[in-house]
Amino acid sequence: MIPLNSNFESKPVGLDVEKIRKDFPILDTQVSGRQLVYLDNAATTHKPVAVIERMKKYYESENSNIHRGVHFLSQLATKEYESAREKIRGFINAGSTREVIITRGATDSINLVAQSFGRKFIGAGDEIIISEMEHHANIVPWQMLCESTGAVLRYIPINDNGELILEKFDVLLNSRTKLVSVTRCSNALGTINPVEYIIEKSHQQGTPVLIDGSQSIQHGTIDVQKLDADFFVFSGHKLYGPTGTGVLYGKEKYLREMPPYQGGGDMILNVSMEKTTYNDLPYKFEAGTPNIAGVIGLGAAIDYINSIGMDLISAHEKELTRYALTGLSSIWQVILIGEPKNRAPVFSFILEGIHPHDIGTILDFEGIAIRAGHHCAQPVMERYCIPATARASFAVYNTFEEIDKLVLGIRRVLEVFS
Amino acid sequence: MNPEIRELYQQIILDHNKNPKNFGKIDPYNHHAEGFNPLCGDHLHLYLHTEGDRIVNISFEGGGCAISKSSASMMTAFVKGKTVQEAETLFNRFHEMVTGTGKSDEDYSDLDKLAVLQGVREFPVRVKCASLSWHTLVAALKQPETVISTE
Ligand SMILES: Cc1ncc(COP(=O)(O)O)c(C=O)c1O
């Protein structure tokens, strides 16, 4: 297929997409007789063979419970699990694996902070700052905390381009602010936020900051120490890893002071009838048998990403972003929701008079998978006075040709409704 | 054009989507219900005026996809003037048609234009869109003021 924007300069970025696509068996799927075009990567990414095979290998030759057996398999499983934690640590450049808590996902990680840090350090009259572009996972846990403690939730507003209004943040931040929790990148708008500024400003008055990395971790290198985030959360399944895995990075100085989140096995050192002594970090926050195969699979996903190189992935995705912007802008009926200067490969759009659900259904006939809905970010929908958007989001295995198909597909939608 | 797309998005559905019947808020009304489809953010208000057991006037307001909007438009046109019992029977017929629980060769011509929504049963995620206004209708008939959800 000849690219629609044939005068578009496609710079070779040194990434062999065709080779990468072969690593993802699901991309061969046929949808109503057509080749799948998967553009719902912000919801979840597909998994490379390396991850699938790694989990299979675990169940075939390493399966055992961890941290509690003297036998061969248990020691093997423990070693592999802990080696995955080390891979995660390296990937985000945490100072120590004590600061890498393994969870079920970003939602679980945020709830952990809300329940543990929140209940200990946040009280009546205190304030928490989030933003209008948060995913429900970074809204509801704080609302629940506020309801039970009497704390107050404040929102950094967004401008028409879908960017945070930082001057408003400056005004919201005050001595009662006990935590700031914002997303690095919006799943509903594609905006990449200047979290460096927010962190620096908050730290000037000693307020810790949680960064939701769910939509940024897969698109670029992250160094939590350089960023100086106090907490950083993400889900494994958006990073080419398995579902049911997630990470909470936290600075040790906070984690040490925080009470356990859930009680059970693995998080204790000693339990007597009277009293329990909690385990050390990170185990204090990891009650019960975790998703061992999944976490080992996440380790394999990180190896896979490193084998390609995050810089190459970012460069490729930047090209896709530019190409998609050109393609989508070529259709005058397309209204982008969110036109930030700094954007991840995530595009929300609407078509005048055509509901996103209808866009999604018609594109599905063409084999094109996008998301239609409120993207668990209803405050964003409210802000723009729309019920929903259509969203196309890209990953390392997407191509220019697939963006051409999306553009043609949108033209088809307009035809149906003309 | 892909024939399956046309099967779902028939011209009459597109027409009702563009120019819905009974759109707005009637005055007076003595029944009202609100319907939500949290999955897609559809939100619908249904207003009814009954005299005795007859629906003498009906209207709807709110946004939604072409399937839900055209379904609401056709539904209101169809039940206007019918009795409450007739409307409830029609609800059951319609529900059977869009969920595909009836006989596969069942003839739904008694539902008149609404039969064009038969294609929806091939699309499980869209069944809720087609039936939202009907569920809201049943809720409105039961009580003067209700909020219902399809979830
Ligand atoms: C920005 C953001 N935060 C949090 C989440 C929640 O992730 P999970 O459902 O994997 O816990 C998502 C997922 O869509 C997201 O996009």
pLDDT, tens digit (0-9, with 9 covering 90-100), for A302-351: 999 999 999 999 999 999 999 999 999 999 999 999 999 999 999 999 99
Give the domain ranges of chain A: 17-47+309-416, 51-307
Look at A224 and B103; give whichever has higher pLDDT: A224
Predicted local confidence at residue B145, as pLDDT: 59
CB A186 within 8 A of CB A139: no
Say if residue A296's pLDDT is above 90.
Answer: yes
Give residue-wise pLDDT tens across range A228-240: 999 999 999 999 9
Collapsing DSSP to helix, strand or coil, B68 comes out as helix
Give residue-wise pLDDT tens across range A172-182: 999 999 999 99
Predicted local confidence at residue A5, as pLDDT: 52
Across A120-250, where does the E strand assignment appear? 127-131, 152-156, 177-183, 209-212, 231-235, 246-250
Rounded to whole angstroms, the Cα distance separating B64 from B131 reads 12
Neighbouring-strand partners of residue A351: A334, A354
CB contact under 8 A, B9 and A416: yes
Residue A49 dihedral angles phi and psi, to the nearest 5°: -50, -40
Residues 6 or more apart whose CB falls under 8 angstroms from that of A6 comprise: none
Assign A185 a pLDDT band (cuts: 50, 70, 90): very high
Predicted local confidence at residue A266, as pLDDT: 78
Say if residue B39's pLDDT is above 80.
Answer: no
The answer to whether the pTM exceeds 0.80 is yes
Rounded to whole angstroms, the Cα distance separating A190 from B104 reads 45
Residue A376 annotated as catalytic:
yes
CB contact under 8 A, A387 and B63: yes
Q: Which of B1, B2, B42 sits opposite A387 (nearest CB)?
A: B42
Give residue-wise pLDDT tens across range B8-30: 899 999 999 999 999 999 999 99
Say if residue A369's pLDDT is above 80.
Answer: yes
Q: How far is A138 from chain B (nearest CA, A)?
A: 19
Rounded to whole angstroms, the Cα distance separating A364 from A307 reads 33
ipTM summary value = 0.85
Provide the CATH topology of domain A17-47+309-416.
Aspartate Aminotransferase, domain 1 (3.90.1150)
CB B5 within 8 A of CB A365: yes
Nearest to A374 by CA among B41, B65, B151: B41
Say if residue B141's pLDDT is above 80.
Answer: yes
Residues 6 or more apart whose CB falls under 8 angstroms from that of A274 comprise: none
Give the domain ranges of chain B: 3-143
Q: Which CATH architecture has domain B3-143?
A: Alpha-Beta Complex (3.90)
CATH class in words for A51-307: alpha beta
Residues in chain A closer than 8 A to B129 (CB atoms): 357
Assign A1 a pLDDT band (cuts: 50, 70, 90): very low
Q: How far is B74 from chain A (nearest CA, A)?
A: 18
Predicted local confidence at residue B106, as pLDDT: 87
Nearest to A138 by CA among A122, A121, A159, A114: A114
N- to C-terminal Cα distance for chain B? 33
